[in-house]
Structure 1
């Protein structure tokens, strides 16, 4: 083949490649226009919404996200979720359409009935019931309502309030303070509980996002419920970080032991399908203890729930490994209940009976000490034990519990009511406070010196 002929061949390929690039670019440019992108699957109302929002530069990204969603592929447009009926509390007359300003799980139910049923029965759906708890007294009163609106209620959920002004431009819009809100237990104008967008953010409503641990970590984090931090410390979290690309988070069918084997996520253990179980939207279906309150309690049907959780564990671990870990977890919970929670609660009851603590919550310093002892430190210890987080079980958990129980809570109680802690030394778990023997002390000093070549006094 002559050099001249080779040059001609190269030139032909170059022209063809350039033409292909130009054609593809023009096609993609047309496809990028909302009315073109949606044309294949959008109804007329949806096309009108997209065009109007685009022209007015309002929430343009919503339509772009929707175009990438499974909803768009299935022809589920704006009015499938946003169409209001006469009499709906959140009906808003907008550009000639009757718009529901607060889509709720009842809207999702029309297609996702099983998921709606499971979610509605879950503890997630009831998350806004914390309104009457001590947590909310702190948020609403000690801190203030604006703090609660942008803090507590953004995770737990608000009760959405709708304004009735008589003005079509504002009649049916949610009121500030209660909205915007995507709290998992939100009380909606139609009476339903929760919001699916807490985990499946609008308008892509992605399964992939819901399977990400960080999605759960938006609320399950911090000093009182640090599940995301515990997960990231655990072997599970380490493996997820190392092998995330093998997780197939966007798969339609997502079964541990079949679709993926690299690591478990929050969804894997609490909601996900296994080779022997279907998935569920009831996040409590596999939880055997409640670790939230002062005293941890076995939940109703806890044996069945424990067996369900063990089935998840057995996808990756042997039976002896799984059984032993749950024994160790149970022991840690009982340690908290019996060694710290019960004595502390008994002392608080005696202080109240003696009039040393007023009926008003949090107006006495010892109430803050007691609250943080169980609500922060005690929870961290129990959650760390449940999720294989050794540092949260120990240094962020039981160490903090012991330090503040012995050096802060007991002295404060004794100061308020002398003699109230006298019975502590009769409890075997606390007998060490009476002192170690000379032999025990010397043994500790010798070990320290031999290990660190340092002498302690």
Structure 2
């Protein structure tokens, strides 16, 4: 970018730019920054990285006191509203995984290096500071969304707003969310890609105006929604928010899904987004189908499996240590992988993830693995649950039902 397009920069920032260019130490960050809104508005290296001598991660760098990490607390100097919204979000709590079952799996069962380069790169690490402001290389680099920073703040703005261009187009791309929201246990990106929303985005990306300063659905673009459109961005009746949970009515993460506090208001906000493109009846129909899926998962599979696991623990057939017994892995797959895939698939109109990557795998895991394993450990422990009408098919289909299936295949496939 030509220098004439940049706002006047502070003397300290000019020194940073000159040094990084001439020494060829990460010179690309300079050219990236020059393309940013920061550069156009006179916000440079020093304005973001300046530190107080009393800051725990501060150090002297060519006669300037700086810190490597630019935390949400630093960003709040200019972006107070955005940081306040983020602080109240589930994203800011991402680092809470550090004490969770998932983290036991990552740090203990797998090993700390796996967690450092895996789990914590999305959820966030607790940044440790060594002598003279040096960052502990086992905890840094890290741009996890719920990172625990040396200044006490939570989060990493650069998790979504990648440095040093801080491009709005990049932040609005579904792939940006896909860094973390993909894989066998939370495949939101893959689900979005297979959905009609994702198909439309790929076909009409040239119409999305992703680099616009303003980005309001129905005004600046109307070709397709992205993750940001539905969960964060402005639309008729809605302002931009950095609290990504304000439009989510169910939590789909735990073993058994529950509706969130004030779920009706949250759902009404999401419906306002949907109704830019869909009629109220269409939106209500979608939510009816979605709710039915969650209730089916909860009542048929999740609650019985959870109750059976508790019974096995009380009876002393399994111990409190996680992941040291086969059925604990089976149960984990059931809710953490397959159960989430089915629920997320239904929430984002991904039929294949709801069915073949979801309920098919749930049913197989539940009936063919989990129930037999539980019975081997404690005979009779599943009887009450399997007596439910939801599982009566396991007693066998009637002759009439079997003939109906055969007749269908004869008529359709000639077999």
Does the 8 Å CA contact 2:215/2:233 hold for their aligned counterparts? yes
CA distance in structure 2 between the partners assigned to 1:49 and 1:122 by the alignment: 34
Q: Secondary structure at the match of 2:342?
A: helix
Residue of structure 1 equivalent to 2:128: 161
Match of 1:283 among 241, 244, 247: 244
Does the 8 Å CA contact 2:20/2:26 hold for their aligned counterparts? yes
Residue of structure 2 equivalent to 1:75: 42
1:438-453 equivalence runs, <5 A: 438-453=399-414
1:375-454 equivalence runs, <5 A: 375-454=336-415
Residue of structure 2 equivalent to 1:90: 57
- Give 4+ residue runs of structure 1 displaced > 3 Å after superposition: 36-40
Please state if 1:104 is matched with 2:104.
no
CA distance in structure 2 between the partners assigned to 1:377 and 1:100 by the alignment: 43
CA RMSD of aligned residues (A): 1.1
Offset of 1:101 from its aligned partner?
A: 1.7
TM-score for both structures, normalised by structure 1: 0.89
Q: Secondary structure at the match of 2:221?
A: coil
Match of 2:102 among 127, 135, 158: 135
1:333-344 equivalence runs, <5 A: 333-344=294-305
Please state if 1:147 is matched with 2:123.
no
Offset of 1:434 from its aligned partner?
A: 0.6
Does the 8 Å CA contact 2:217/2:236 hold for their aligned counterparts? yes
CA distance in structure 1 between the partners assigned to 2:80 and 2:250 by the alignment: 28
CA distance in structure 1 between the partners assigned to 2:140 and 2:383 by the alignment: 51
Does the 8 Å CA contact 1:220/1:227 hold for their aligned counterparts? yes
CA distance in structure 2 between the partners assigned to 1:46 and 1:39 by the alignment: 12
Offset of 1:423 from its aligned partner?
A: 1.9
Offset of 1:40 from its aligned partner?
A: 5.1
TM-score for both structures, normalised by structure 2: 0.98
Offset of 1:181 from its aligned partner?
A: 0.1
CA distance in structure 1 between the partners assigned to 2:235 and 2:147 by the alignment: 30
Match of 2:221 among 252, 260, 266: 260
1:32-58: CA deviation from partner (whole Å, max 9, x where unpaired): xxxx56875222111111111112211
CA distance in structure 2 between the partners assigned to 1:40 and 1:149 by the alignment: 39
Residue of structure 2 equivalent to 1:240: 201
Residue of structure 1 equivalent to 2:89: 122
Does the 8 Å CA contact 1:425/1:434 hold for their aligned counterparts? no
CA distance in structure 2 between the partners assigned to 1:194 and 1:107 by the alignment: 11
CA distance in structure 2 between the partners assigned to 1:429 and 1:97 by the alignment: 68
Offset of 1:220 from its aligned partner?
A: 0.1
CA distance in structure 2 between the partners assigned to 1:443 and 1:103 by the alignment: 65
CA distance in structure 1 between the partners assigned to 2:7 and 2:211 by the alignment: 23
Q: Secondary structure at the match of 2:153?
A: coil
CA distance in structure 1 between the partners assigned to 2:240 and 2:268 by the alignment: 15
Does the 8 Å CA contact 1:66/1:72 hold for their aligned counterparts? yes
CA distance in structure 2 between the partners assigned to 1:64 and 1:445 by the alignment: 67
Please state if 1:355 is matched with 2:322.
no
CA distance in structure 2 between the partners assigned to 1:407 and 1:273 by the alignment: 47
CA distance in structure 2 between the partners assigned to 1:39 and 1:215 by the alignment: 27
Please state if 1:224 is matched with 2:224.
no
CA distance in structure 2 between the partners assigned to 1:421 and 1:195 by the alignment: 45
Residue of structure 2 equivalent to 1:198: 159
Query: Which residues of structure 2 form unaligned runs of 5+?
Result: none
CA distance in structure 2 between the partners assigned to 1:94 and 1:154 by the alignment: 27
CA distance in structure 2 between the partners assigned to 1:77 and 1:425 by the alignment: 64
1:358-377: CA deviation from partner (whole Å, max 9, x where unpaired): 11111000000000100000
CA distance in structure 1 between the partners assigned to 2:350 and 2:414 by the alignment: 31
Match of 2:33 among 48, 66, 77: 66
Number of paired residues?
415
Match of 2:265 among 304, 308, 325: 304
Q: Secondary structure at the match of 1:93?
A: strand
Does the 8 Å CA contact 1:258/1:275 hold for their aligned counterparts? no
1:412-454: CA deviation from partner (whole Å, max 9, x where unpaired): 1111111112223420100111111111111111211221122
CA distance in structure 1 between the partners assigned to 2:178 and 2:203 by the alignment: 18
Does the 8 Å CA contact 1:39/1:47 hold for their aligned counterparts? no
Does the 8 Å CA contact 1:38/1:47 hold for their aligned counterparts? no
Q: Secondary structure at the match of 1:382?
A: helix
Higher mean displacement: 36-45 or 364-373: 36-45
CA distance in structure 2 between the partners assigned to 1:337 and 1:424 by the alignment: 13
